[in-house]
Each structure stands twice: as structure tokens, then as C-alpha cells.
């Protein structure tokens, strides 16, 4: 459906992560069933420490929870930043959000109300589609920023005329889909020099393979915002618990405006979030799972004479298609392995010729894929 008859306003585009039907049909033709490697939807158990927390206080479901986050959740976020990142914050520099996708897609609207003289959102040219959609939903210009040969954001490529109109610059480290690590210190300096808030999506931070986890708040708080989610690190996508941290003026503004929007993380979910942030053991276990699955999928692709490198972070493989034909590669993987994958153009025009493969798959399903590839 393309909108109501006579509709002249905004018509929502098709959801970008729907796998092409011909690829789905090809995968269904493989004996043993389809293995979906197209989405980053958690498939492993919810940590026991979180399960226990969810049932620990049923009365927390009764009242309206604080929009900014409970005192316990804010304290847990502050302590996590200090323990894991080495960044010193206080509870006035953090706030809760309902997962992070809602923040990604609503932030441009709030920033435009704060600074009506600007109308542009800058975002990585090959990236999570919601950065662009958030700009569109706010009636803003969505301007992609080029990436370099290593899939890192190229700050020097930004037109100064666009920078003067920018409400924010999005960066994503580790990046989705290519898994690259941006220079967050350079990004923070770029933003401060131009009075452009730099918003760093860090939801894959716990799956950083090249060095230690990094956050933009390690390079000062002024003019920056780090955005985090518990969906990936703790297998809690269904609870919708996220948080943001950084510039105290920007955090205050978001906390106050979001109160009026009624954006509330449910009380039991906030209790679970505290338990998740206080326990690092389950995160380390999950990171080991993803690292092993990435290694295994690299072997699978090598058996098909396809090259894939371990990303610097995240749980996706970013695979260049032979002859640049991503559709043909998606079909081949469906026909030979029974797997669903994501065409690179889903993430922007610059992603054409690549395929994203998610290592978010139960071990028994991965064993099936390995068997189909002729591996034991």
C-alpha cells in the first residue's frame, strides 16, 4: 500500500530490512529449513541475573516510572561508565530512553525545536537507516557523510555549508554494517569547533574486537552525546532499555522534553537494566559467543571461495560481492546454504556491492550452515 487515495503528504517507505521475496523463496528450497542471518535480533538466553531482577519487585509495574530513569538506573549507568570506560560522570549527565531506536528517530525533531535556525542531520553514508529516517520524520535535510576506504567517517568530506546548518552529526562505533571504529576524539573536536552536537551510537561497544571499548565521552562532555542500549549486550531487545550520556545542557534538555512526550521505560525493565549493568560476566560470555560465531562464518564463506575479514567490532560480516552483484550473492547464499542475508544497499547507496551477514544465530543453526558448506 502506498498511502491513502488523494494523500499528498509523507508516505512511509517500505521497511528496509525486509528480505527480497526471491531470496526467501530460494532459502526455503533448501532441506532442513531457513537460517536467518539478515537481522541482529538476539537469540541467546536472557541472563539469569536479569530474569531474577524482573520478578524481584512486581509492584514496580504499578506506578508510572520516571521518564529520566530511576535513581538506581541512573547510578548504575554512571558506575558502568566509570568502571568500563573510565569516564567520570554524575547522574545529571545521563538519562534513560526506550531502547535507542526511538531516540535515534526522535532526536532531530527535538534538536530542531531547540535550534530552529538549523535544518540538517549529518550521518554516515553507509549506516543504520534510522539515522536518515529520523531526519526525514523531523522535516530536516538528511545529508550523508562519506566514509573512507576502511568504512570510517570522513570528517574532511563534510561541506562547511552543510555543517553551518547541522543540528547534529551521527557517528556509530563499532559501526553497523561494516564494524569499523571511528576516531571519536577527532569527531568530538570537529563538532565543538562548529558548535554541532556529535551523537555517538555505541550500542555495539561491548563487542569491540580491535582494542578496548571506546566512547565519545572519553574525550570530554561538551557538545557530545553517547547513546547506548542493553538490547545487544544483554539479549534484552524486548525490554527496550537504553540510555544516553554526555553534555549536561543537552542531557537536561532531552530529559525535560522527553518528560512531555511520555517516553517511559517500564519500571520492571528499569530494575532489570540495573541488574544488567552491574553484571559484566554475562556480557563477556555473550561477546565470546559472537566472536566464535564470526570466526565460524568466516570459515563457511571461505569454503565458498568468499573472503570475509573479522570486523573491528560488532557482530556482522561485511562481504564484498563477486563482480559487485550483491543480489546474486544473496541468492547464492540462499540457494547453497539456506541462509537469509541483507543486501548492502539497505544501508545506503555506498553499500551497493556488499552483503551484511549477522552472526546472531543459535549454535545448532550455525552447525547446520557449516554442514551445508561441507564443514564438520
pLDDT tens for 307-322 read 999 999 999 999 999 9
198-233 residues labelled b (16+ CB within 10 A) or e (exposed): bbbbbbbbbbbbeeebbbbbbbebebbbbbbbbbbb
Whether residues 294 and 367 fall in one domain: yes
Whether residues 68 and 101 fall in one domain: yes
In a domain, 3, yes or no: no
3 falls in which pLDDT band (50, 70, 90)?
A: low
In a domain, 35, yes or no: yes
CA–CA separation, 144 and 170 (whole Å): 10
Digit-coded pLDDT (tens) for 130-184: 999 999 999 999 999 999 999 999 999 999 999 999 999 999 999 999 999 999 9
Q: What is the pLDDT of residue 9?
A: 85
Whether residues 76 and 212 fall in one domain: yes
Whether residues 131 and 233 fall in one domain: yes
From 134, 129, 222, 127, select the one nearest 182 (Cα to Cα). Answer: 127
Sequence-distant (≥ 6) Cβ neighbours of residue 149 within 8 angstroms: none
In a domain, 16, yes or no: no
Provide the CATH number for the domain around residue 125: 3.40.640.10
CA–CA separation, 291 and 208 (whole Å): 10
In a domain, 77, yes or no: yes
In a domain, 2, yes or no: no
In a domain, 11, yes or no: no
Using the predicted structure, report yes or no on whether residue 1 has a pLDDT greater than 70.
no
Q: How far is CA 37 from CA 41, 216, 294, 334, in A?
A: 9, 30, 12, 10
Whether residues 357 and 332 fall in one domain: yes
Whether residues 333 and 252 fall in one domain: no
Q: What is the pLDDT of residue 8?
A: 77
The 3-state DSSP class for residue 106 equals: helix
The secondary structure of 53-73 as a DSSP string is HHTT-GGGGSSPPPTT--HHH
Q: How far is CA 48 from CA 228, 238, 256, 282, in A?
A: 21, 16, 34, 9
Whether residues 207 and 320 fall in one domain: no
In a domain, 7, yes or no: no
Whether residues 105 and 240 fall in one domain: yes
In a domain, 58, yes or no: yes
229 beta partners: 242
Provide the CATH number for the domain around residue 344: 3.90.1150.10
Last residue of a domain, one of 278, 294, 329: 278
Whether residues 100 and 198 fall in one domain: yes
8 Å CB contact between 146 and 154: yes
**Domain membership of residue 26 as a residue range:** 21-45+282-372
Q: What is the pLDDT of residue 5?
A: 73
Whether residues 159 and 121 fall in one domain: yes
| pTM of the predicted protein model | 0.95
Amino acid at each position: 500500500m502506498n498511502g491513502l487515495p488523494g494523500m499528498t503528504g509523507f508516505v512511509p517507505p517500505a521497511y528496509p530490512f525486509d528480505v527480497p521475496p526471491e531470496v526467501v523463496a530460494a532459502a526455503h528450497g533448501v532441506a532442513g529449513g531457513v537460517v536467518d542471518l539478515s537481522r541482529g535480533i538476539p537469540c541467546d538466553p536472557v541472563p539469569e541475573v536479569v530474569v531474577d531482577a524482573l520478578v524481584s519487585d512486581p509492584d514496580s509495574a504499578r506506578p508510572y516510572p520516571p521518564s529520566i530513569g530511576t535513581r538506581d538506573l541512573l547510578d548504575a549507568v554512571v558506575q558502568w561508565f566509570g568502571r568500563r570506560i573510565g569516564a567520570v560522570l554524575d547522574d545529571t549527565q545521563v538519562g534513560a530512553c526506550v531502547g535507542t531506536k526511538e531516540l535515534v528517530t526522535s532526536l532531530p525533531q527535538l534538536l530542531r525545536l531547540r535550534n530552529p535556525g538549523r535544518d540538517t542531520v549529518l550521518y554516515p553514508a553507509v549506516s543504520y537507516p534510522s539515522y536518515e529516517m529520523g531526519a526525514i520524520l523531523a522535516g530536516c535535510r538528511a545529508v550523508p557523510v562519506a566514509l573512507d576506504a576502511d568504512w570510517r567517517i570522513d570528517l574532511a568530506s563534510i561541506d562547511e555549508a552543510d555543517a553551518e546548518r547541522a543540528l547534529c552529526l551521527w557517528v556509530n562505533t563499532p559501526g553497523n554494517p561494516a564494524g569499523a571504529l571511528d576516531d571519536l576524539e577527532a569527531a568530538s573536536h570537529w563538532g565543538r569547533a562548529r558548535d554541532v552536537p556529535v551523537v555517538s551510537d555505541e550500542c555495539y561497544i561491548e563487542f569491540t574486537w580491535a582494542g578496548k571499548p571506546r566512547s565519545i565521552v572519553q574525550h570530554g562532555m561538551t557538545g557530545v552525546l553517547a547513546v547506548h542500549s542493553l538490547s545487544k549486550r544483554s539479549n534484552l531487545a524486548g525490554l527496550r532499555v537504553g540510555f544516553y550520556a554526555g553534555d549536561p545542557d543537552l542531557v537536561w534538555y532531552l530529559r525535560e522534553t522527553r518528560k512531555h512526550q511520555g517516553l517511559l521505560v517500564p519500571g520492571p525493565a528499569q530494575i532489570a537494566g540495573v541488574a544488567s549493568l552491574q553484571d559484566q560476566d554475562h556480557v563477556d560470555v555473550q561477546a565470546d559467543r559472537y566472536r566464535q560465531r564470526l570466526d565460524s562464518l568466516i570459515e563457511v564463506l571461505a569454503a565458498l571461495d568468499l573472503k570475509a575479514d573479522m570486523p573491528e567490532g560488532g557482530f556482522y560480516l561485511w562481504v564484498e560481492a563477486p563482480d559487485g552483484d550483491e543480489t546474486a550473492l544473496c541468492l547464492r547464499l540462499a540457494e547453497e546454504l539456506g541462509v537469509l542475508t541483507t543486501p548492502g544497499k539497505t544501508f545506503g547507496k555506498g553499500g551497493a556491492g556488499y552483503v551484511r551477514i549477522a552472526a546472531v544465530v543459535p549454535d545448532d543453526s550455525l552447525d547446520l550452515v557449516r554442514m551445508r558448506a561441507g564443514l564438520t
